Copies of this chain bind each other. A is one copy, B any other.
Amino acid sequence: MHYKQAYKPPTLTVDAVLFQLVDDQLMVLLTRRAEEPFKGEWALPGGYSPEGQTTIQALASIVKRKVGLDITADLRYIEQLYTFDTIARDPRGHAVSVTYMGCGYAITTVGGSQFAEWHPVDQLPTLAYDHADIIAYARERLSAKLAYTNAAMGLLDKKFTLSQLQTVYEAVLGRELDKRNFRKKFLNLELIRETSEVWKGGAHRPAKLYAFNSDSPETLSRSFD
């Protein structure tokens, strides 16, 4: 593409905030930077988004290469979050970052060219660039989405118990919920259905397994909580 006047676009990058629950805690995937700038610091997985690829395509190949995670196979949900574009956010020069937020369940396949680790979203280390802001924004968005969509699906197995569902809500919202009210409200939304299976999880009464009625993102007419 060429232009009548001289035109130079900023660098375009992509970054992903990837969530999953580990031990009932909301975790985010971070990589340790091997090079300057911010060498040795923690950062979100991300990289350059070149001409000829959509940002999500670029993100998919970067995430696969750097942290060994397949965003279609390993994630249950991903959406565009926001585009961060302040001039000084990258010390090397002006870089505009299109960010994504994704959710998964029991992801263990992490391991690529960069060292990566899941960190509790409530106890993050110092982060490179403006990545702390990006994570804060993603967490807020996810909280909001729990209330009016079936986004909790992203953090659960295909079949799950009501207690596991409640754990997702509690971990993301950061507060405890009443078990009876939670079940009543959620079952009223007609978002999930009972399956015939049960979960035998230990030395206690087995729990019924439920599944979401729809595999795709849904917006609720009346919102939850």
Contact = CB atoms under 8 A, between A and B. Distances in A.
Interface in A78-108: 80, 82-83, 85-87, 92-96, 98
A55 B8 contact: no
A174 to B, nearest CB: 16
Contacts of A87: 52-54
Contacts of A3: 48
Contacts of A56: 85
B7 A50 contact: yes
B54 A86 contact: yes
24 contacts: A1-B94, A1-B95, A7-B11, A7-B50, A9-B9, A9-B10, A9-B11, A9-B12, A9-B51, A10-B12, A10-B50, A12-B96, A51-B94, A52-B94, A53-B87, A54-B85, A54-B86, A54-B87, A55-B83, A55-B96, A56-B85, A80-B83, A83-B83, A96-B98
